[in-house]
């Protein structure tokens, strides 16, 4: 459905019709941001599991992506974006915005700390991933709801 909406937006744009595209909505923006974090985490996980060789550049880039992305992530929860576009955001975010932001900041801070002392091998990446994963789930525990 999302794809169809995007295709429609593209088609309309092609016709010279200006339309607010679905991709501009905060719900879609934050979904994209989380996807970026997921991809970065995936790159780290590949190394931690030994599926990919250790590569300092990839580790560095992935950690930077995580820390930069979660810095702006909580900015995309304005009033009015509580529902719609299959958002998995819990209403509790708006009730406890300070705590929600603190949890995002914790992940950002931890990613920066790890970046400053870059894990030097597969085991180091695994340990880093453990810290990052806990930060992710501690926020998902309170603030994400699953729809299916």
Partner 1 sequence: MGRRARYLLSGLALLAIAGGGLAWWLTKPDRSDASQWEGLGDPDLSNGERVFWAGGCASCHAAPDTTDNGASDDSAADEKRLLLAGGRSLKSPFGTFYPPNISPDETAGIGTWTLAEFGDAMTRGVGRDGGHLYPSFPYGSYIRMTAKDVNDLWGFMQTLPKSGNTTPQHDLAFPYNIRPAIGVWKFFYLTDEPRARINTADTKLARGQYLVEGPGHCGECHTPRDALGGFEEARWLTGAPNPEGEGRIPDITPASKSVGGWSASDIASYLETGFTPDFDTVGGSMVEVQKNMAKLPASDRDAIAAYLKALPAL
Q: Which is nearer to partner 1, 85 or 131 (CB)?
A: 131
User: Which one-letter DSSP state was computed for residue 115?
Assistant: H
DSSP 98: H
CB of 22 to partner 1, least distance (A): 21
Is 140 labeled as ligand-binding? yes
Give the end-to-end CA distance of the chain in Å, rounded to a whole number.
16
- Tell me the C-alpha distance between 89 and 82, whole Å: 7
Which residue's CB is nearer to partner 1, number 71 or number 144?
144
Question: Residues 57-86 vs partner 1: string with x where CB under 8 A?
Answer: ------------------------------
56-72 vs 97-116: helix crossing angle, rounded to 10 = 160
Binders of partner 1 among residues 117 to 136 (CB under 8 A) are: 129-131, 133-136
- How far apart are alpha carbons 22 and 58 in whole angstroms? 31
Give the shortest CB-4-to-partner 1 separation in angstroms. Answer: 18
- DSSP codes, 45-68: HHHHTTSS---HHHHHHHHHHHHH
Binding segment toward partner 1, per CB under 8 A, in 18-26, 31-39, 51-59, 72-80: 31-39
**Tokens, residue 27:** 């719900």
Q: Binding site annotation covers 136?
A: yes
Judge whether 121 is annotated as a binding position.
Answer: no
- Where is the binding site for heme c, in residues? 136, 139-140
Q: Write out the residues near partner 1 by the rule CB under 8 A.
A: 34, 38-39, 41-42, 45, 88, 90-91, 103, 106, 110, 129-131, 133-141, 144-148
């Amino acid at each position: 459905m999302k794809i169809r909406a995007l295709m429609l937006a593209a088609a309309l744009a092609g016709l010279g019709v200006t339309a607010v595209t679905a991709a501009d909505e905060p719900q879609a923006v934050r979904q994209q941001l989380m996807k970026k974090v997921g991809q970065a985490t995936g790159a780290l996980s590949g190394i931690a599991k030994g599926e990919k060789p250790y590569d300092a550049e990839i580790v560095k880039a992935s950690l930077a992506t995580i820390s930069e992305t979660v810095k702006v992530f909580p900015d995309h929860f304005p009033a009015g974006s509580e529902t719609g576009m299959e958002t998995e955001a819990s209403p509790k975010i708006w009730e406890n915005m300070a705590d929600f932001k603190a949890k995002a900041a914790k992940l950002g801070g931890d990613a920066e700390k790890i970046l400053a002392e870059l894990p030097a091998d597969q085991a180091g990446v695994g340990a880093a991933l453990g810290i990052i994963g806990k930060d992710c789930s501690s926020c998902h525990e309170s603030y994400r709801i699953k729809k299916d």
